[in-house]
Copies of this chain bind each other. A is one copy, B any other.
Amino acid sequence: METKIDLSKINSPADIRKMDETELKALAAALRQPLLDKLSAHGGHVGPNLGMIEAIIALHYVFDTPNDKIVFDVSHQTYPHKMITGRMSAFTDPAHYDDVTGYTNPRESEYDLFSLGHTSSAIALASGLAKARDLRGGKENVVAVIGDGSLSGGVAFEGLDYGATLGTNFIVVVNDNDMSIAENHGGIYADLRLLRNTNGTADNNLFRAMGYAYRYVHYGNDIPSLIKMFRSVKDINYPVVVHINTMKGMGLPVAEAHKEQFHFAGPFDLQTGAPLHSPAAATEPEDYDSLFANHLLMRMKECPDLVAITAGTPGAIGFGPGKRKEAGSQFIDVGIAEQQAVAMASGLAKGGARPVVGLVSTFLQRAYDQFSQDIALNHQPATFVIFYGSMFGMNDETHLGFFDLGLLSNIPDLLVLTPTCKEEFLAMLRWSEDQRKQPVVIRVPGGEVRSDSTIELLDDYSRPAYEIVRKGSRVALICVGTFLPVMQQTADILAAKGLDPMVINPREVSQLDTATLDSLRDFDLIVTAEDGIIDGGYGQKVASYFGDTDVKVINLGLPKQFRNRYNAADLQRECNLTPDQIATLTENSLK
């Protein structure tokens, strides 16, 4: 007789600790079905979560959560954890699908210890929990679960290095599914493979070398094997790594077969895996990542020294498996290792090559020091293209794209260009690839690809040179990147009311075009708008420049706040960034 599990009765891990192994196996199947339903209807991190159902059951079964502490990393693999820690309806009831976020979130549950979406810091965080426990003489287990590519980040290594010295209970579970978002690269992954292939017995063992005891679970989707292992390390009094070999996409054949495609997916057909909302190819809208990848592939053929680099997000920069193959040795995926991507680009440029690094805005934060020291201070002519740097990009609190402008534009000698449309983006990219003088950041505009054949393209973007898109008087509207069309609409509204506003595309945010700004000294008002936080951004530089003059300056942009799952249109209104609002602000200021 088949064991049936009533998911509505699972309110906390206590409810699964009463189960026997047969029931736990049935629980895994019972969790997998609504998870498949939600993922296929709603989208999300498909493969990572399907692969971790059994391990998460076994962890909560063996460890006394929430007294024992588990830190998940990448926390996008915690949907099963959320299901068994009091948030089942968010997975079983479509009306509640959006009640939970896609990452651990302490505001949702005491079982979620940290908001952790940038990957790789779980071991460091857990080492702090363990040290705090030791200081107060506590006895709870501290477990870091790390995997799905996040082991390659530098902070993961720093955490492993320190954790080895704790000398007390410290359990690192390495979830090894042989994948990051795309396939894994790097020496550690070769070692993980060797360990898998030798059932954990190989002499070359990164974790033992780092000072950890080491255990291996070959059947990482087999609950009894996992329970046995976790029991054997529970209450251990020294640092141990438990390496578990899991199957990304487990239980969904199409996801098992196409791991990269199903790492994260929008709604799809459960049988075929086909996207539900795929437009016909002919009408598919352009996107900047495809424009970027297609351009680079073309240039790579002309220039054998041109090399594209990603830090574990090839898809986000347009390089799916086919294009990676086409690029061959001119494409490099360093894994989740932004510091390596940026510093390596400096070495490549110094060595005479032309590196073009594609980075996701929120993740480039991990390489601030390399931007400053290895790139800017060393004046190396590398090109960095920033994707999703916008309020119109990703909207999870851990994945915000509106902090990058200030972060990068306040580094000396780093040119930060802000194209407004695809023509300008490609012109800037091409110029940067060919110049050998300086490091350049190009921030892809937010929102849908915009074409603008009227934009004035330059042969050289190294010197600040504002484009006056619309001539005018008294009022100047300066709009960074994304906001050019908004400011153009604002100008139309103001013109209809008898004003004659100038519209300026500054093209860049790291240097002021003081000649153009000085020509505005008899203006009454300058309004700046940028697709990022106001603090430390472009507009404040303009306000400072005009601080001791009679020209008034209004800075528009986002307040300095984290936001979680916001609606971009609502945020735009909240920040007075719609054309009507900007026009009203302008009129009121001129009164």
- Would B560 and A553 count as touching, CB distance under 8 A? no
Q: Given A186-B164, A374-B125, A131 and B307 touching (CB < 8 A)? A: yes
Contact B162 A562 (CB under 8 A): no
Given A124-B343, A125-B346; A352-B136 close (CB under 8 Å): yes
**Residues in B whose Cβ lies below 8 Å from that of A304:** 135-136
Q: Are B369 and A114 in contact (CB under 8 A)?
A: no
Seen from chain A, the residues whose Cβ lies within 8 Å of a Cβ on chain B are 69, 71, 106, 113-118, 121, 124-136, 152-165, 185-188, 190-191, 203-206, 208-212, 304-305, 307, 329-330, 332, 334-335, 337, 339-340, 343-353, 355, 365-366, 368-370, 372-374, 376-378, 397-398, 403, 406-407, 409-413, 525, 533-537, 539-541, 543-544, 546-549, 552-555, 560-562, 589
Kindly list chain B residues whose C-beta atoms are within 8 Å of the C-beta of A344.
124-125, 127-128, 131, 159, 162
CA distance A128 to B348 in the complex (A): 4
A348 to B131, Cβ gap below 8 A?
A: yes
Complex contact B161–A337 (CB within 8 A): yes
Q: Given A398-B377, A413-B562, A543-B547 in contact, is the A162-B135 Cβ separation under 8 Å?
A: no
Within 8 Å CB of A124, what residues of B?
A: 339-340, 343-344, 347, 370, 374
Q: Shortest CB–CB separation between residue A210 and chain B, in angstroms?
A: 4
Instruction: Return the chain B residue nearest A537 by Cβ.
Output: B536
Q: What residues of chain B lie closer than 8 Å to A351, measured between beta carbons?
A: 69, 128-133
Given contacts A162-B335, A205-B209, A534-B544, 7 further A-B contacts (CB under 8 A): A128-B345, A129-B347, A131-B347, A132-B305, A162-B340, A365-B372, A540-B540
Residues of B within 8 A of A134 (CB): 329
- Within 8 Å CB of A549, what residues of B? 552
Q: Is A548 touching B554 in the complex (CB atoms < 8 A)?
A: yes
Task: List residues of chain B with CB within 8 A of the CB of A160.
Answer: 187
23 A-B Cβ contacts within 8 A?
A118-B369, A124-B343, A125-B346, A128-B350, A129-B350, A131-B332, A131-B347, A132-B350, A135-B305, A135-B307, A159-B344, A160-B187, A161-B340, A162-B335, A162-B344, A206-B209, A368-B368, A406-B410, A409-B535, A412-B561, A413-B561, A543-B547, A544-B553
For A353, what are the chain B residues with a Cβ–Cβ distance below 8 Å?
128, 131-132, 135-136
Whether A127 contacts B347 in the complex (CB less than 8 A), given A206-B206, A412-B561, A553-B547, comes out as: yes
B115 close to A377 (CB less than 8 A): yes
**Chain B, residue nearest A548 (CB):** B552
Output the least CB separation between A309 and chain B (Å). Answer: 9
A200 to chain B, nearest CB (A): 13
